[in-house]
Amino acid sequence: MPETQAFSTRRSLWTPPSGTLGGLVAAAYIRAADQSSEAQAWRTRAEAAPPAPSFRAALRGPTVGVIAELKRRSPSKGSINPELHAVERAGEYVAAGAAAVSVLTEPERFGGVMSDLSDVAAAVAAPVLRKDFIVASVQLYEARARGAAAALLIVRALPHDALVELYDIGSSIGLDLLVEVHDEAELSAALDIGAAIIGVNNRDLESLVIQPNTAARIVPLIPRSVVAVAESGMATRADVQRAAAAGADAVLVGSAVSAASDPASAVRALADIRVERDGRPD
């Protein structure tokens, strides 16, 4: 299908998300609207911010890159680690071999705090991802101004024009964009906009159901020139080995490391598994 036709098809078929994702996106629009008067100030700070370490490069090694997440709670699990100390735990993750740190900043359902992003980015040498429900440019400007190297864009959450606009804005201010998909149609949309990093989420964010074979099905379709990240359901070494066998360059691990009593050991157990990219297309 020609690129322009694919874009047109997505525009005509996309509908606003429902379920849990729909509620989270609606709340994100409200928060972004409340920040709209600050957009220019955050943009100025973002454009003046020193370069961040490359998120994409950090995930592109011979072994699976572990993106270790800071998560206090979630809609699917409830309370995970409400007393989590972001800087301390991020330091333990990186010392144990994490390639990057994911900082959840969504406040209502995940217990995220924006100051965690700037504090962690200042404290660790590894690149930091702002993981949130990004719907407006001000959120990207704030992420870059606070030291983030990357931000998450969820294909299902955004109409086509907004996805393209936010991808272009994020790229223009030096952010790497982790573009998240859940099925083949969303993968096509991510590739059409030129996404250099694609995350495949095993969890359906509308129903919160994990379908463990989603990443195993979709990662082998991602060109080798694109960094492929397997997300959700990554808890054990066996989980990461399955992702690596499918060709995933990296995994995003949230609840398992956030809840761990020994986070360094939890990360270390996942950080030395070789990637098998040969099955992915050129």
Catalytic (active site) residue 142: no
Question: Could you give all domains of the chain from N- to C-terminal order, each with its CATH number?
Answer: 3-268 (3.20.20.70)
Point out the catalytic residue in the list 74, 81, 202, 232. Answer: 232
Catalytic (active site) residue 231: yes
Tell me: the pLDDT tens digits for 17-30? 999 999 999 999 99
Catalytic (active site) residue 92: no
Q: Report angle CA 20, 25, 27 to the nearest 5 degrees.
A: 100
| pTM for the whole structure | 0.95
Catalytic (active site) residue 69: yes
The SS3 assignment for 66 reads: strand
Point out the catalytic residue in the list 69, 92, 106, 186. Answer: 69
Q: What is the pLDDT of residue 10?
A: 53
258: which residues sit within 8 A by CB, 6+ positions away? 69, 70, 71, 72, 80, 81, 84, 89
Catalytic (active site) residue 258: no
Q: What is the pLDDT of residue 6?
A: 47
Catalytic (active site) residue 180: yes
Q: What is the pLDDT of residue 4?
A: 43
Q: What is the pLDDT of residue 43?
A: 98
Q: What is the pLDDT of residue 13?
A: 82
Q: Report angle CA 69, 112, 122 to the nearest 5 degrees.
A: 65
CA dist., res. 33 & res. 280, Å (int): 41
Q: How many CA atoms lie within 13 A of 229 on its CB side?
A: 30
The list of the chain residues with pLDDT below 70 reads: 1-12
Tokens of 113: 């705090």
Q: What is the pLDDT of residue 163?
A: 98
Point out the catalytic residue in the list 106, 142, 180, 186. Answer: 180
